[in-house]
């Protein structure tokens, strides 16, 4: 081979090719001894940037985040040695908390595994505190809004990093005077409308994953400006976007479509929520009025009786026309994630999600893509015999009109043929968000929950270790950030709802709600939620394992038909004064005084 050996490469770098670490001791017959080694490293400096990382503001002087904490590898080793018991015990506690659940082990694995991309070359944190990410390893720069929009994990596990991203980058150096945001910050000075709307949604999510309202108070003037930019794109004030809509599928789509317009409406719903908290009543009213109009207009203009379509003004640009598109109700999926009012009516939403299962879920997704001749140039993310949720299908025709010039292309897998091929692909981040939405809209034991789980299981099987690296879900490069949408499926299964500044927390499990246990993460702590219920009794325990929690109310789901007449609560052995409100099966328990929980504390609830 003409590839350099490790030895030659090391010597070329001025380093020896081998290193060793040992401990000399003697053993007598029958004696044993355990030897522990600690290996550390430190590479604080970046190589001089010759590519896209060189566009990062001040990159020449930036180092890796740990450069501020440690002088070198020896300092790292000494720190770990001194704090090993705390570091190891807390790590083991989190591992135990995550897997101490009634949820299937494979599901817990698959919905958390994509978070590993935060520990790869995809993700960087600089010594000035800024987080910066590629879309995938060394590919497509700038913590791209329209890709990272799908990722739910980092915001729920490391909320302070996402808050800093919103404040420092998206509504800092990426914000323009007219309210638009550059989708790759300094690495991409253009606005992608889906990324812009999604970043407003993420800002509200970051607010709810805070311990207080300081983040929103600081950011509100900029957020309002960004929402006003979106409103100006809706010239008719109808709640539907119709002009050029640059989006994550690497093209500008034109004309009304539920996909991007539902994201716009979800951003307006967040605008309502934030404006009300900021006591900006007139702006809240404006956002609410247009969101309500858009909810009606989506159905009237874009719903075909089964699912939502795209109405391009002509066929000069990529479009999905009469197709059944995976993201058609993405805005409503986001509304569930952040707990705002409905964006798309329930009946039509459920019909659209069932259509995705009927038309887009393919037991042989790889074979479908090869045999579907109307679309050419797909990248192979599912091989023959592997199942997946296909990006777009055309059960009512129209595939031949979707991509200008497609019929003249010659099918090849040797080179990229353009974004038109995406329609036939299975990309995990999109699959996860659709699966999460099905579960949110479904009932325990129902078809929507079952279908959502089947989609996640199909991904899990595609990434079985006998075939591929289970820790590396690919799209445009390795360890792709969009795959962190998987954590959103976990949240959906738990029916998780949280608003940190208000002290509101809720659960509505979708799998085995009669005997359910799962982990949760909050603004400043994490722990385990467990519930047991029968037709006439309900009990729950909220156990905080790490950090702290300030709680004003807890919402739970009792069995259908149970009419609650009495609720009791205690903090450890101490009874608490509470009142409750029941709406349908949802019982909201309100504490007379805000409850402050610390690690090791538990809240116990009984309802009958």
Position 20 confidence tier, pLDDT thresholds 50, 70, 90:
confident
- Structural element, H or E, at residue 448: helix 447-462
pLDDT, tens digit, 9 for 90 and up, residues 313-363: 999 999 999 999 999 999 999 999 999 999 999 999 999 999 999 999 999
Q: What is the DSSP letter of 186?
A: G
All domains in the chain, ordered by first residue: 6-82 (no CATH), 103-494 (1.50.10.10), 512-607 (2.60.40.700)
pLDDT, tens digit, 9 for 90 and up, residues 387-407: 999 999 999 999 999 999 999
Position 215 confidence tier, pLDDT thresholds 50, 70, 90:
very high
pLDDT, tens digit, 9 for 90 and up, residues 145-197: 999 999 999 999 999 999 999 999 999 999 999 999 999 999 999 999 999 99
Q: Left (φ > 0), alpha (ψ -120 to 50) or beta: where does 387 sit?
A: beta
Q: Is 383's pLDDT higher than 50?
A: yes
User: What is the C-alpha separation between 601 and 84, in angstroms, rounded?
Assistant: 25
Assess contact for 549 and 522: CB atoms under 8 A: yes
Position 16 confidence tier, pLDDT thresholds 50, 70, 90:
low
Position 1 confidence tier, pLDDT thresholds 50, 70, 90:
very low
State phi, psi for 37 to the nearest 5 degrees: -115, 145
Residues 6+ apart with CB under 8 A from 356: 307, 324, 326, 328, 389, 434, 438
Assess contact for 47 and 124: CB atoms under 8 A: no
Give the per-residue pLDDT at 384.
97
């Amino acid at each position: 081979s003409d590839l350099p050996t490790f030895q030659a490469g090391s010597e070329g770098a001025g380093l020896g090719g081998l290193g060793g670490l040992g401990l000399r001791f003697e053993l007598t017959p029958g004696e044993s001894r355990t030897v522990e080694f600690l290996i550390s490293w430190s590479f604080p400096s970046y190589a001089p940037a010759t590519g896209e990382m060189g566009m990062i503001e001040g990159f020449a002087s930036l180092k890796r985040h740990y450069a501020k904490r440690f002088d070198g590898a020896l300092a790292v080793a000494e720190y770990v040695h001194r704090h090993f018991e705390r570091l190891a015990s807390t790590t083991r506690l989190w591992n135990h908390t995550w897997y101490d659940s009634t949820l299937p082990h494979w599901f817990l694995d698959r919905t958390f595994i994509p978070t590993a991309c935060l520990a790869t070359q995809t993700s960087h944190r600089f010594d000035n505190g800024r987080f910066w990410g590629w879309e995938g390893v060394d590919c497509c720069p700038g913590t791209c809004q329209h890709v990272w929009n799908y990722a739910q994990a980092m915001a729920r596990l490391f909320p302070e990093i996402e808050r800093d991203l919103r404040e420092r980058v998206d509504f800092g150096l990426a914000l323009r005077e007219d309210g638009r945001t550059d989708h790759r910050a300094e690495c991409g000075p253009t606005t992608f409308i889906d990324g812009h709307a999604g970043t407003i949604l993420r800002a509200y999510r970051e607010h709810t994953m805070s311990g207080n309202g300081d983040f929103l108070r600081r950011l509100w003037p900029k957020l309002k400006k960004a929402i006003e930019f979106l409103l100006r794109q809706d010239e008719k004030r109808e709640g539907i976007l119709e002009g050029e809509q640059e989006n994550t599928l690497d093209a500008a789509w034109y004309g009304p479509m539920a996909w991007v317009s539902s994201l716009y409406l979800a951003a307006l719903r967040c605008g309502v929520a934030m404006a009300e908290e900021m006591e900006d009543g007139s702006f809240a009213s404006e956002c609410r009025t247009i969101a309500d109009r858009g909810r009606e207009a989506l159905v009237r203009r874009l719903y075909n009786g089964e699912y939502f379509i795209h109405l391009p003004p002509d066929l000069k640009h990529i479009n999905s026309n009469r197709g059944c598109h995976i993201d058609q109700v993405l805005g409503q999926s986001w509304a569930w994630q952040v707990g705002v009012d409905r964006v798309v009516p329930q009946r039509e939403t459920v019909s659209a999600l069932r259509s995705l299962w009927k038309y887009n879920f393919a037991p042989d997704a790889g074979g479908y893509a090869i045999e579907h001749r109307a679309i050419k140039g797909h990248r192979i993310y599912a091989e023959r015999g592997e199942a997946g949720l296909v990006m777009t299908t055309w059960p009512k025709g129209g595939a031949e009109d979707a991509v200008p010039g497609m019929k003249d292309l010659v099918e090849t897998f040797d080179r990229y043929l353009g974004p038109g091929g995406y329609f036939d692909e299975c990309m995990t981040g999109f699959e996860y968000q659709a699966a999460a939405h099905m579960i949110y809209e479904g009932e325990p034991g129902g078809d929507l929950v079952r279908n959502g789980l089947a989609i996640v299981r199909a991904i899990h099987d595609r990434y079985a270790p006998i075939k591929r690296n289970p820790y590396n879900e690919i799209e445009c490069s390795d360890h792709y950030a969009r795959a962190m949408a998987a954590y959103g499926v976990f949240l959906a299964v738990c029916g998780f709802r949280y608003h940190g500044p208000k002290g509101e927390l809720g659960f509505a499990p979708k799998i085995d709600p009669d005997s359910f246990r799962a982990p949760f993460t909050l603004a400043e702590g994490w722990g385990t939620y467990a519930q047991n219920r029968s037709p006439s009794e309900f009990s729950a325990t909220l156990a905080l394992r790490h950090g702290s929690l300030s709680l004003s109310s807890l919402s739970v789901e009792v069995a259908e038909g149970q009419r609650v007449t009495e609720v009791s609560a205690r903090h450890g052995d101490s009874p608490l004064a509470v009142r409750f409100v029941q709406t349908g099966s949802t019982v909201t328990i309100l504490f007379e005084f805000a409850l402050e929980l610390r690690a090791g504390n538990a809240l116990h609830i009984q309802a009958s």
